């Protein structure tokens, strides 16, 4: 298995087509921070270098090295991370009750991990990426069902 480095792009096969993931950051023994690139793709002649330049859907912590080791994702190349991309300084996570119903949100400072409670998200906060670790199954399930940052609600 080759080492995963900054800028590596991987292909994940889903029921709706290929999804592309770009590695942003990794720390030893932690999941990788990745960009989830736009849309599902079915065309064979996709120009990944152009796709990488488009705004991402969101960023997430993803078990990328595990997925690569298990053959769940396939490396397609290494591309510069766009200058327009900023590593998130804040992300959000839901707080749910024992029945899974949303109580409120936490806005998480990514560096300090300090959490701030928010009962109702502002439009800006709705665009914050999840402060969660996802695997391929959850990523595919959410995106195939039409999940977006703006419509993310925990039930």
Contacts of 49 (CB under 8 A, 6+ apart): 77, 79
In a domain, 48, yes or no: yes
- In tens, the pLDDT along 33-92 reads 999 998 776 666 668 878 888 889 999 999 888 888 999 999 999 999 999 999 999 999
In a domain, 47, yes or no: yes
**What residue numbers bound the domain in which 20 lies?**
8-86+132-144
Q: How many residues does the chain have?
A: 155
Number of domains in the chain: 1
In a domain, 74, yes or no: yes
pLDDT above 70 for 148: yes
- Report DSSP letters for 12-63, one per residue: EEETTEEEEEEEEE--TTSPEEEEE-SS-B--TT--HHHHHHSPPSEEEEE-
Rounded alpha-carbon distances, angstroms, from residue 77 to 2, 51, 72, 80: 12, 12, 16, 10
In a domain, 96, yes or no: no
In a domain, 104, yes or no: no
pLDDT above 70 for 105: yes
Provide the whole-model pTM.
0.88
In a domain, 45, yes or no: yes
In a domain, 120, yes or no: no
Cross-strand partners of 19: 12
């Amino acid at each position: 298995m080759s080492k995963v480095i900054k800028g590596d792009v991987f292909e994940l096969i889903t029921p709706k087509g290929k999804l592309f993931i770009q590695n942003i950051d990794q720390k030893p023994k932690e999941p990788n921070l990745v960009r989830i690139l736009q849309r599902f793709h079915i065309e064979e002649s996709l120009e990944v270098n152009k796709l990488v330049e488009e705004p991402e859907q969101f960023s997430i912590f993803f078990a990328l090295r595990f997925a690569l080791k298990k053959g769940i994702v396939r490396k397609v190349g290494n591309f510069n991370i766009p200058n327009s991309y900023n590593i998130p300084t804040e992300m959000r996570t839901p707080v749910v009750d024992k029945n899974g119903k949303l109580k409120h949100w936490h806005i998480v400072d990514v560096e300090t991990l300090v959490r701030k409670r928010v009962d109702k998200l502002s439009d800006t906060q709705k665009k914050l990426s999840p402060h969660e670790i996802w695997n391929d199954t959850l990523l595919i399930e959410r995106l195939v069902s039409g999940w977006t940052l703006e419509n993310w609600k925990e039930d």
